[in-house]
Amino acid sequence: MIMSAESVRPEPVEGPSFSSAGSEGKKQPFDRPGANGLRGKLTANAPLAPLVWFKSGGAAEWLFEPKDLADLQGFLADLDPEVPVMALGLGSNMIVRDGGVPGVVVRLGKAFAKVTAVDPVTLDCGGGASGILVSSTARDSGVAGLEFLRSIPGTVGGFVRMNGGAYGGEVKDILVDCDVVLRSGELKTLPVADLGYTYRHSALPEGAIVVAARFRGRPGEAADIQAEMDRIGASREASQPLRSKTGGSTFKNPDGHRAWELVDKAGCRGFALGGAQVSEKHTNFLINTGNATSTDIEALGEEVRRRVRESQGVELEWEIQRVGKP
């Protein structure tokens, strides 16, 4: 359970540095929750394992859950630019290393999880909204073409940053533009052309947090949209270890190959290391069988990469984000 900053007062811990009025531009230590007008929750040494799908890993030095957009902007504007910042969505495509994450992890809450139709084929989606909420709202609004988001286990902020995709669709195909808060606290709207999208990658700057995005589909019938969502859901259920502690697709598909086939041909189906295992159901998924550390999971992934490289001469690239200190 993540407690609010007001209930966690780690007196020996010096917090992230913030600008302080009257200090001649010098950074002063952040020494109490609620300073500098913060209205969200700021928690020291916040465990991240409960917040990520693998259920492993260390703590965030600081976890900030902003009250709203203005709160986030003010927080980042006042924060020492040397302090690293990382956004966390549903934690579905991420390994948090056991040494934890230095600096500040920002987690967007309900204020950033709204989805509304702005015209007959366009949705305005908060950065904290899930793919299921976006696709369901699209169905209710008669907007087709967004059904594949049903299969992406993450939030808008995450799959905009990573050009998430599945079942023949990618974010680059539906994104109009997005609102991002830069590390400086500045709010900018970026059209899709500025994001430099490639396969599972964007050119969004480090520390930038996606707070909203507009997705455009095409007119459709709700029943047809639901049928496609059902088809996608059934396919995922049949082929992926959805009820396991996993992190989604582990490796990117190399040109001309499917990652799962390469892993399977390397003899890695069911291969285990510590408490981590290559899924027997889908070999591009790693699972925590119960007590795996993040070190186990990452080491298993590296061993799989080595075996694929040596057996087939193909270099697998991680799709899962790996963050923090070992």
Catalytic residues: 200, 249, 319
CA dist., res. 61 & res. 46, Å (int):
7
CA dist., res. 64 & res. 287, Å (int):
28
How many alpha carbons lie under 13 Å from residue 267 in its C-beta half-sphere? 5
Strands (E) across 120-262 are located at 122-126, 143-144, 165-166, 169-170, 175-181, 187-191, 209-216, 218-219, 245-246
Query: Measured in whole angstroms, how far is the alpha carbon of residue 270 from the centre of its chain?
Result: 26
H or E segment to which residue 277 belongs: strand 276-278
H or E segment to which residue 136 belongs: helix 131-140
∠ CA 229-230-235, nearest 5°, is 100
- The CA distances from residue 116 to 92, 123, 126, in Å, are 24, 6, 9
CA dist., res. 233 & res. 231, Å (int):
5
CA dist., res. 3 & res. 31, Å (int):
18
Write out the two tokens for 244.
Answer: 């396991």
Selection from 224, 226, 218 nearest residue 144 by Cα: 218
Token pair 């709204």 is found at: 114
CA dist., res. 76 & res. 104, Å (int):
10
